[in-house]
Amino acid sequence: EHGRHGKTFDYFLRVAALWPWRFEWVVKADSDSYVVLPNLVRELALLGDTADGYLGAHCVPLRSPMNRSTYKLTFDAFVDDGADALYPRWMMCGMMYALSADIVRWLPPPQGE
């Protein structure tokens, strides 16, 4: 998994391509997760037709200056390559998350396609 490569990115792209009719949300869950569908449907209904919608955990990248974790590696453990400034403020993580249709349709196609 990295940026525009990996199974998660590919999953969201394939859902949009294989099911082009109207959908409001696309959910990705781990295979060992137990999703209580009535609760998920209720939460997504509360968000409605939200533009730029995301439902799930927010994880701060390990190298991000915003990471305040006490169990992370120190920044001294990394080479100063200037990449820290390129990291997003947060990333999708966890056993389940959902993206609204506008975000899924906004995703660029994989490189080389």
How confident is the prediction along the chain (113 residues), in pLDDT tens digits per residue?
555 567 888 888 888 888 877 788 999 998 899 999 999 999 998 887 777 788 888 776 665 555 565 544 444 544 555 555 565 566 677 789 898 888 888 887 766 55
Ordered by start, the domain boundaries in the chain are 7-106
For 89-105, give one letter per residue: b (16+ CB within 10 A) or e.
eeebeeeebbbbbebbe
CB atoms within 10 A of CB 28: 18
pLDDT value of position 101: 87
73 φ, ψ to 5°? -70, 150
pLDDT at 35: 92
